Amino acid sequence: DAGVIQSPRHEVTEMGQEVTLRCKPISGHDYLFWYRQTMMRGLELLIYFNNNVPIDDSGMPEDRFSAKMPNASFSTLKIQPSEPRDSAVYFCASSFRSHNTGELFFGEGSRLTVL
């Protein structure tokens, strides 16, 4: 299997622009997680899906952030409008069943820089 695939790997944009990050989970995995990593706050869970349905979005920082999973093989995380404080590495991870019985497989991340 190709693993979790994220795109783009790097994104540099200006404040106010829309940013869309993409994720393709491992085939057969029914959980998908979006994490954000910064030096100050470490790894934060933003939102996760089970069978394409958002289960918990309490980690989404504000309304500027939204995530969708239209099908089992694709998810997006959108920031609109973007701000400099959104600069971070965004990770997508997937797992078969809950992480509590399985293992999270992480993508290589999307590094976002907002100027």
Q: Which residues bind another protein (CB under 8 A)?
A: 4, 31, 33, 35, 42-43, 45, 48, 50, 55-56, 91, 93, 98-101, 103-109
Smaller CB separation from another protein, 27 or 80:
27
What is the closest distance, in whole angstroms, from the C-beta atom of residue 43 to another protein in the complex?
A: 4
Closest approach of another protein to the CB of residue 94, in Å: 11
Closer residue to another protein in complex, CB, 41/62: 41
CA distance 78 to 67: 6
Nearest distance, CB of residue 101 and another protein, angstroms: 8
* Closest alpha carbon to 32 in 86, 100, 98: 98
CA 45 and chain centroid, separation: 9
Phi then psi for residue 31, to 5 deg, are -120, 140
**Cβ–Cβ < 8 Å for 34, 75:** yes
Gap between the Cα atoms of 106 and 101, Å rounded: 16
Nearest distance, CB of residue 108 and another protein, angstroms? 5
Q: Closest CB to another protein among 43 and 115?
A: 43
